[in-house]
Chains A and B, each alone.
Chain A
């Protein structure tokens, strides 16, 4: 006789939406934050400052010194902005997208043209894959054509982004480019899942709302949600820019800004998407390539391949290594997912998509640790390159490092370890939830993914332990 399985109760929260909204964890209960979010100057003030900053960066990149070492735009863009951006994602979710100068441009163009057509279906269905492809393409282009090391190259990248944003703003509604095409938007949407601050609506109040979805469609106070989110049904911070438009529009003050456990969202995703997990693994590969190309062994390795094969075409060799490196984490996760599929049933794609999200904390850690080297190891380059603009000259003997290399390395190890712990915990939670549903052992389900995380953690730490070359 087959034992009758008892239904498993998944305890999510015993608190009502109203209790959650009234809790201390709701930042909207802090008067100055609430005032800021409802202010007409938010986020416009930040947008204006950043837009001015990006105009300066663009100007410097295009007409400033052609040598990246001396270009203020290069220093601002690649030593300051790019390393800081993943940290912003962790702390504030997708908030960067609310103040991004490209988003501001999109809104401006839309205001004047306002064709506001709905994005085509293929963009909605395959937008994430396009983002995946663009992200990989931009990274490849950087190495092959030297975008980072060429101010003009970086300038052209900015112009191309600007053109894409203008095209999108002129034709499509809301911020179609940010949501479906922007590589940084894709990155931020993935990383924002680990964010500490999330926006939620009090569904108790929303049930009685007569305001005709003013939070989604926009109203007299603020325009529509730029990323097409409906706060009442929103479960993820991936597509919320924290722009506060819904907060301003809501006539019932039903929107709250919750401070939650970082990474919690990773194990509560109801509909995991293959493309999003693929992006997580591709980023892992990209960070590995970025680390690899900054090491001494990179050139030695290329020389070795050249001697072995007789191929001396650098682009070909790099492209081959790049494809292998980006595909490697994806293939490893596929094998882990197939292992789970063999033992627990279902298609491997399901397990790939489900557990791929757990890799995001390690992704972020690798990314932040890599960029920490640029930020702390070359941070003074921002100052050095700015000085000539004011008629000053830099100290000849000064180093551009803000702190010494050993300190940076210790910080890198700590960040990678923290990321790995968060990833391991996410795997534990996902495995426990899925294994309990079918009364099986979570340990067996989690094992291949725990091995995967440990392997990539060791690889990252190994790369950071070796001396690296700077960007500037």
Chain B
């Protein structure tokens, strides 16, 4: 039986879950900003070993028997790690997704407290001898 009270509880739960989820996302976002600032203060940048053939110009590449441009894939010019720190991106991603999962859980609670129709019903089987 769906009552006004259970609906109210469910909706309050949903709202609370959304607030917590998005609040958590915002918190992570702020954290990521401070990590970024810290990284830029340190001025850290990591260098990775260079790939073969990276310091060759087009003429040298041709001389080395690399042929046409399309046949020289895999030989970059200079290898470096991502310029933009993915930490911020990942934290935002994490926050948003935690919020979504919390929303899902809240919705589940709403649905368990309210009377809902059965899930997408199976095709009606009305042929002779069939099951209902």
Are A66 and B100 touching (Cβ within 8 A)? no
The CA-CA distance from A170 to B18 in the complex, in Å, is 13
Contacts of B72 in A (CB 8 A): 399-400, 470
Interface set, chain A 111-133, CB cutoff 8 A to B? 112-118
Q: Contact flags (1/0) for B98-132 with A, using CB distance below 8 Å?
A: 00110111011001000000011011010111111
Are B86 and A152 touching (Cβ within 8 A)? yes
Contacts of A385 in B (CB 8 A): 74
Contact check: which of B100, B128, B132 meets A167 at CB < 8 Å?
Answer: B100
Q: Contact flags (1/0) for A23-44 with B, using CB distance below 8 Å?
A: 0000000000000000000000
User: Within the complex, what minimum Cβ distance (angstroms) separates B75 from chain A?
Assistant: 6
User: Within the complex, what minimum Cβ distance (angstroms) separates A119 from chain B?
Assistant: 9
Are A469 and B75 touching (Cβ within 8 A)? no
User: Within the complex, what minimum Cβ distance (angstroms) separates A217 from chain B?
Assistant: 6
Are B107 and A117 touching (Cβ within 8 A)? yes
Contacts of A208 in B (CB 8 A): 129
A143 interfacial contact with B, CB 8 Å: no
User: Within the complex, what minimum Cβ distance (angstroms) separates A383 from chain B?
Assistant: 8
Contact of A109 with B86 at beta-carbon distance under 8 Å, contacts A388-B48, A470-B73, A471-B73 already known: no
List the one stretch of B1-9, B28-36, B61-69 in contact with chain A. Answer: B61-69
The CA-CA distance from A209 to B66 in the complex, in Å, is 65
User: Within the complex, what minimum Cβ distance (angstroms) separates A131 from chain B?
Assistant: 20
The CA-CA distance from A75 to B72 in the complex, in Å, is 13
Contacts of B51 in A (CB 8 A): 69-70, 384, 388, 393-394
Chain B residue with minimal CB distance to A203? Answer: B127
Are B71 and A377 touching (Cβ within 8 A)? yes
Contact of A156 with B74 at beta-carbon distance under 8 Å, contacts A113-B108, A213-B131, A397-B66 already known: no
A interface, how many residues as a size bin?
35 or more
The CA-CA distance from A114 to B123 in the complex, in Å, is 22
Are A393 and B52 touching (Cβ within 8 A)? yes
Are B103 and A118 touching (Cβ within 8 A)? no
User: Within the complex, what minimum Cβ distance (angstroms) separates B73 from chain A?
Assistant: 4
User: Within the complex, what minimum Cβ distance (angstroms) separates A463 from chain B?
Assistant: 14
Contacts of B129 in A (CB 8 A): 207-208
Are B80 and A163 touching (Cβ within 8 A)? no
Contact check: which of B70, B84, B122, B127 meets A378 at CB < 8 Å?
Answer: B70
Q: Is the interface of B mostly helix, strand, loop or mixed?
A: loop
A356 interfacial contact with B, CB 8 Å: no
Are B71 and A216 touching (Cβ within 8 A)? no
B interface, how many residues as a size bin?
35 or more
The CA-CA distance from A70 to B53 in the complex, in Å, is 11
B57 interfacial contact with A, CB 8 Å: no
Are A63 and B86 touching (Cβ within 8 A)? yes
Contacts of A245 in B (CB 8 A): none
Contact check: which of B64, B82, B103 meets A63 at CB < 8 Å?
Answer: B82
Chain A residue with minimal CB distance to B52? Answer: A396
Are A213 and B97 touching (Cβ within 8 A)? no
Chain A residue with minimal CB distance to B66? Answer: A399
Are B107 and A399 touching (Cβ within 8 A)? no
User: Within the complex, what minimum Cβ distance (angstroms) separates A142 from chain B?
Assistant: 18
A472 interfacial contact with B, CB 8 Å: yes
User: Within the complex, what minimum Cβ distance (angstroms) separates B32 from chain A?
Assistant: 13
The CA-CA distance from A470 to B70 in the complex, in Å, is 5
A381 interfacial contact with B, CB 8 Å: yes
Contact of A159 with B66 at beta-carbon distance under 8 Å, contacts A109-B104, A400-B71 already known: no
A278 interfacial contact with B, CB 8 Å: no
Are A170 and B104 touching (Cβ within 8 A)? yes
The CA-CA distance from A67 to B50 in the complex, in Å, is 11
Contacts of B105 in A (CB 8 A): 112-113, 115, 170
The CA-CA distance from A214 to B106 in the complex, in Å, is 28
The CA-CA distance from A393 to B81 in the complex, in Å, is 18
Are A400 and B75 touching (Cβ within 8 A)? yes
Are B70 and A217 touching (Cβ within 8 A)? no
B83 interfacial contact with A, CB 8 Å: yes
The CA-CA distance from A329 to B104 in the complex, in Å, is 42
Are A69 and B97 touching (Cβ within 8 A)? no
Interface set, chain A 161-210, CB cutoff 8 A to B? 162-163, 166-167, 169-171, 173-174, 206-210
- Interface set of B (CB-CB < 8 Å, partner A): 48-49, 51-53, 56, 64-84, 86, 89-90, 93, 96-97, 100-101, 103-105, 107-108, 111, 119-120, 122-123, 125, 127-132
26 A-B residue pairs with Cβ-Cβ distance under 8 Å, sorted by A, are A65-B48, A65-B80, A109-B101, A113-B107, A115-B104, A115-B108, A115-B111, A117-B107, A151-B82, A159-B93, A162-B93, A162-B97, A166-B101, A170-B103, A170-B107, A173-B119, A207-B129, A207-B130, A211-B131, A381-B73, A393-B52, A394-B75, A397-B64, A399-B67, A401-B67, A405-B71
List 11 additional contacts besides A232-B125, A400-B73; criterion CB under 8 Å.
Answer: A113-B104, A113-B105, A114-B104, A117-B111, A118-B119, A381-B73, A393-B52, A401-B70, A467-B70, A470-B69, A472-B74
Closest CB pairs A-B (n = 10): A170-B104, A69-B76, A113-B104, A384-B74, A472-B73, A381-B74, A115-B107, A400-B73, A378-B73, A213-B122
